[in-house]
Structure 1
């Protein structure tokens, strides 16, 4: 308590020169800016990771098995077999082929996904981004197009398009693609590459076009209980299949995006902590100069019997207070910005007239997720750096010799 009192009194004496006061304020402002930026940046990174899991990974296959040569026979039995494997939540059949969507002389390449409507919602949340059709009501001659495909071709809901379907399993490699007509009954509006490439039709329609029977497909798709363990589950569950298949998990198709997010998180931690460290170590400069200026006060305290430990704690607390003021102000401002950054981003894009995320990422807004763990880590790291920065000036204060200072020697 005495150290706190003395620290407060020393600050109130206002004997600091302008330069010392400037250094103290600069270190506080530096810590404030570093903490603010770190909390906002980490919240945005957490938001991207959350959207990756809840948005993109709810649509792209967690795990898929694709037949490279011969189609997969008796898919109901294979689906039941996979659903009994550890870590597998649900399984469904599908046929993935490359197709060309044709409308009024225009052509657009698309990934044609043939699904079983009654089961597809168990492995994908793509239905949340389809308007106005409910996916389970998809008819035999109906198709759902990505919004990007429809925009490029000039297609609207209710129009009829022709799809050219290539059969990679045909015995004649030069066989002409099948031409099938579909009515457009819905558009996928999710954002990113999905809108530009995906088209969805019923499984039985593509089976007919490719001359496959009703229990034959070219792929099986799984949803798993732990998306970040998808590759291990894929390999383990795949061993139960008697068919020769290619094994794919979302790590192969979208893993680079997840790794980019983690890399950016690491870089943000490193760079901003360096900013906080530089700001905190400014405390050393300001505190050393302050100790030099207050040598007479320290000498008087020593002659009155004040112990070195009390003097040490007095200046350590004073140095720590500079950082804590900056840290808690940065925490307050950073939290306010992080909680409202999505709205601020949309306001900025409406004023600027452009959206840098549009058509690049799988979302067109700036997500944010405030994590208490990040806040605790930032505060603890800031306090730790500040304590380290305050040790040397506080130790120097204990080395003041009263006889030399007060005696004029």
Structure 2
């Protein structure tokens, strides 16, 4: 073991330290540990939210959509759809018409935007994959039926076989509102996507919607799903600019982008704030090192008179500070990584014993606390903490190396 490392270890673990010096050294180690622990845990939670956003919410909503500007609908949509499906980034497409109106059952009224879909195509949609589709045969068999999200079905207090009245707004050529068009639809059943989408989900048949809204082309728009939903904004613009008909282009970031931006913002704020917490803890290393240099002036002077150079003295105090910083970093990173792996289970246990919910499914798109530990976050956190520790040790180490042994021993 190099002499500087041995001296640093004896200084760091020595029992003859000044009480205040020992306290400052311990507090810096604890502060760095807490900062690393909190940074890794919170970053893992943000990773978990991003994972659930991708696998939960983005699995049940379209990643991109093209809507015809003309009231007649999207011309030659079959050829357009076939052309878009040749793009390897596009995993699924379906024609849609969005029907905005009021659903009425007895005294219950609910404003909805119904998705009119082609039953044979929609069944294979990624949004329905892995979900219970028991009501789908009844929906596909009746062209005048409607399929409701489970939460919407409960709000309207209906069951399979009931009739629902759909009120569609009517506007005259001069802009005056006319009496709404009223049609009756049969409830085919419900479908649960286990997300907040259930409160607004309603499906009807494409052909019937085109007839009600007088869409001569039979389709108002096309919905797309991509292999990478986070690439949707770029791909939507790229594909839309190649279309020969005027369309409105939209992607999931326009409707759910605030949620994703919030996750990114929290991640950035956490990085800044907790890095500053680690930096503040490193300031304690500066204080502890300066006090240690003052306490050990005589020992340093004697080492210099015995032939120790400034480089040896400087390395000794740098290593001493790094030992304290490394201990705090490894403890914080270790405990943070372990907790991140089991955070969801710990959160469920806490909810069980406390009787409270940390996240409500009625407010958020998930009802549990997610966590996903990423090795890159641990590595970056450890590197940041060690770099800040190294910077904190430089000034006290230089100060120790510049001591004049003649002046120290002369007193």
- Both structures adopt the same fold (TM-score exceeding 0.5): yes
Instruction: Work out which of the residue numbers 83, 94, 97 in structure 2 matches 1:95.
Output: 97
Is the CA contact 2:359–2:366 (under 8 Å) kept in the aligned structure 1? no
Gaps of 5+ in 2: none
Distance 1:191 1:85, change over 3 A: closer
Distance 1:395 1:221, change over 3 A: same
Residues 346-378 of structure 1, C-alpha deviation per residue, up to 9 Å, x if partnerless?
222332333433322211111111111111111
In structure 2, the residue corresponding to 1:264 is in which secondary structure? helix
Instruction: Work out which of the residue numbers 385, 401, 404 in structure 2 matches 1:401.
Output: 404
Distance 1:150 1:136, change over 3 A: closer
Distance 1:361 1:136, change over 3 A: farther
Report the equivalent of 1:375. Answer: 378
Is the CA contact 2:114–2:203 (under 8 Å) kept in the aligned structure 1? yes
Distance 1:346 1:29, change over 3 A: same
Residue 174 (str. 1) matches residue 178 (str. 2): yes
Report the equivalent of 1:358. Answer: 361
Report the equivalent of 1:26. Answer: 27
Q: Distance in 1 between matches of 2:170 and 2:240?
A: 22
Is the CA contact 2:207–2:218 (under 8 Å) kept in the aligned structure 1? no
In structure 2, the residue corresponding to 1:166 is in which secondary structure? strand
Instruction: Work out which of the residue numbers 257, 278, 281 in structure 1 matches 2:280.
Output: 278
Deviation at 1:128, TM superposition (A): 3.4
The number of equivalent residue pairs is: 405
Distance 1:167 1:266, change over 3 A: same
Q: Distance in 2 between matches of 1:310 and 1:405?
A: 18
Deviation at 1:200, TM superposition (A): 1.8
With structure 2 as the length reference, what TM-score do the two structures score? 0.90
Is the CA contact 1:86–1:233 (under 8 Å) kept in the aligned structure 2? no
Residues 152-176 of structure 1, C-alpha deviation per residue, up to 9 Å, x if partnerless?
22234x2514141527799796363
Q: Distance in 2 between matches of 1:168 and 1:326?
A: 68
With structure 1 as the length reference, what TM-score do the two structures score? 0.91
Moved more, 123-132 or 258-267: 123-132
Is the CA contact 1:123–1:222 (under 8 Å) kept in the aligned structure 2? no
Is the CA contact 2:64–2:223 (under 8 Å) kept in the aligned structure 1? yes
Distance 1:56 1:12, change over 3 A: closer
Q: Distance in 2 between matches of 1:135 and 1:40?
A: 46
Q: Distance in 2 between matches of 1:12 and 1:105?
A: 77
Deviation at 1:10, TM superposition (A): 2.2
Deviation at 1:199, TM superposition (A): 0.8
Q: Distance in 2 between matches of 1:242 and 1:176?
A: 34
Gaps of 5+ in 1: none
Q: Distance in 1 between matches of 2:332 and 2:229?
A: 35
Deviation at 1:227, TM superposition (A): 2.3
RMSD over aligned Cα atoms: 2.5
Residues 206-246 of structure 1, C-alpha deviation per residue, up to 9 Å, x if partnerless?
33444556x61111111223322322322222234333321
Report the equivalent of 1:221. Answer: 223
Instruction: Work out which of the residue numbers 244, 257, 260 in structure 1 matches 2:259.
Output: 257
